[in-house]
């Protein structure tokens, strides 16, 4: 059972090594590197050096990354110059166009590499908007003392009440305004005076039979 566990542990370690970022970098470096350099290379030492770089970055040490970026920018600058010279020296228009297009790509990559390096040295400042979700209106006064904030809130509340009171008086005045008074007239403008025919013959103080 112990041998089986040892074998499984070794197989898992080998699998983790195969998919590790350090092994990926190791494979690329050793595939296209010069033979005279590879002859003097110790593969385990190269893997250890790659792991040290990874651990340094994980601990916040970006010195290796900064050195890598500035070296890449310098190499891209050299490539830009070489391709530009090649394009200007050739007499064929198509070859000149190809060389200059590649030169401009190298220049663009050099600029992007330098921008990345600048962002590592001086990270950009991110401004986040403050959002409050409340059931009513709320004012945020950052940096204001609590007492001053309460005083300001009380002043605003008093001013709000005064404004509402003025609006109430104004509306009541409009309700009580009857408008322009109309012309005086009788209660029944269409009624005519009673004709003498319909008047009574009785007079106060006389009997019905008197003349």
User: Is 45 domain-assigned?
Assistant: yes
Res 4 pLDDT > 60: yes
User: Is 18 domain-assigned?
Assistant: yes
Q: List phi, psi (to 5°) of 7.
A: -65, -40
User: Is 26 domain-assigned?
Assistant: yes
Condensed to tens digits (0 to 9), the pLDDT of residues 8-59 reads: 888 898 899 889 999 999 999 888 888 888 888 898 999 999 999 999 999 9
User: Is 25 domain-assigned?
Assistant: yes
User: Is 140 domain-assigned?
Assistant: no
Number of domains the chain contains: 1
Task: Tell me the residue range of the domain where 48 lies.
Answer: 9-61
User: Is 120 domain-assigned?
Assistant: no
How confident is the model at residue 73, as a pLDDT?
97
Q: What would the mean pLDDT of 92-115 be, rounded to a whole number?
A: 95
User: Is 182 domain-assigned?
Assistant: no
Tell whether pTM > 0.85.
no
* Greater model confidence, 128 or 17: 17
Res 211 pLDDT > 50: no
User: Is 80 domain-assigned?
Assistant: no
């Amino acid at each position: 059972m112990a041998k089986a566990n040892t074998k499984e542990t070794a197989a898992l370690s080998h699998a983790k090594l195969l998919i590790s970022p350090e092994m990926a970098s190791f494979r690329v470096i050793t595939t296209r590197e010069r033979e005279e350099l590879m002859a003097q290379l110790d593969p385990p030492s190269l893997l250890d050096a790659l792991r040290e770089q990874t651990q340094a970055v994980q601990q916040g040490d970006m010195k290796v990354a900064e050195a890598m970026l500035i070296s890449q920018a310098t190499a891209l600058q050299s490539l830009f110059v070489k391709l530009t010279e090649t394009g200007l020296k050739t007499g064929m228009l198509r070859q000149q166009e190809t060389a200059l297009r590649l030169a401009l790509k190298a220049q663009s990559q050099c600029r992007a590499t330098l921008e990345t390096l600048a962002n590592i040295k001086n990270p950009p400042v991110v401004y986040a908007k403050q959002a409050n979700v409340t059931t009513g209106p709320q004012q945020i006064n950052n940096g204001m003392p609590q007492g001053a904030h309460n005083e300001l809130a009380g002043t605003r509340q008093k001013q709000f009440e005064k404004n509402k009171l003025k609006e109430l008086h104004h509306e009541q005045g409009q309700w009580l305004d009857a408008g322009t008074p109309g012309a005086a007239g009788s209660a029944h403008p269409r009624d005519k005076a009673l004709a003498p025919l319909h008047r009574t013959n009785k007079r106060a103080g006389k009997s019905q039979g008197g003349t």
